[in-house]
Amino acid sequence: GQQLNQSPQSMFIQEGEDVSMNCTSSSIFNTWLWYKQEPGEGPVLLIALYKAGELTSNGRLTAQFGITRKDSFLNISASIPSDVGIYFCAGQLLRIGANSKLTFGKGITLSVRP
Amino acid sequence: DAGVTQSPTHLIKTRGQQVTLRCSPKSGHDTVSWYQQALGQGPQFIFQYYEEEERQRGNFPDRFSGHQFPNYSSELNVNALLLGDSALYLCASSLLGEAFFGQGTRLTVV
């Protein structure tokens, strides 16, 4: 099945550093979501974006919905050890009165060195 | 609010057997979707249920079937299990837009 493009597969940063991740698609979506998954758990929603060009923050996390509607990025500022996990982007085509499927990237595994 | 709950958390089955996984959606949510997550991959959409009917289906064979009950809870059934069906099976519930996931059921087929 289709997957969004996330790279690199793994990122290693020092505690306190900022990190950016991007996600691209060959298809247009009208909703972009970012999830974090930790071992043995399901994905947890971090940020949802609903409008092209939208910039949304959730604490130290900031995400943007690309103007072309084919990409999104997530920025984590001042990283801390608990930011460790796998970060997934997901695209969705929301229609009035209907929820549609999520299309996910392969995820980026983030490691934070103390 | 208990969030999305799935049972069981882990399951081991033999090739050829059948399995049923269960999901209770977040309170107030009427739509349930199922995803398969293989190791090192992102979740792949299996199907979605709304008002007790399958509304959307991904690229999975007919061996994968489901059901939604009047209380919005859902089951995923997989028949004639293959080794390749080993994965984390995730249930997500939603009302409008944002999907919330359960912790998943780890299925191992031996």
pLDDT in tens, B37-66: 999 999 999 999 999 999 999 999 999 999
Judged against a pLDDT cut of 80, whether residue B101 lies above it is answered with: yes
Chain B residues near residue A45 by CB distance under 8 angstroms: 98-101
Single out the residue of A112, A80, A86 nearest to residue A12, CA to CA. A112
The rounded distance, in Å, linking the Cα atoms of B110 and B107 is: 10
- From A4, A48, A104, residue closest to B98, measured CB to CB: A48
Chain A residues near residue B7 by CB distance under 8 angstroms: none
Percentage of the residues of chain A whose pLDDT score is greater than 90:
84
Give the residue ranges of chain A where pLDDT is below 70. 1-2, 96-99
- Grade residue B1 by pLDDT with cuts at 50, 70 and 90: low
Chain A residues near residue B98 by CB distance under 8 angstroms: 33, 45, 48
- From A35, A48, A106, residue closest to B41, measured CB to CB: A106
- From B42, B98, B104, residue closest to A105, measured CB to CB: B42
The rounded distance, in Å, linking the Cα atoms of B25 and B8 is: 15
pLDDT of residue A100: 81
Percentage of the residues of chain A whose pLDDT score is greater than 70:
94
pLDDT of residue B8: 98
Judged against a pLDDT cut of 80, whether residue B90 lies above it is answered with: yes
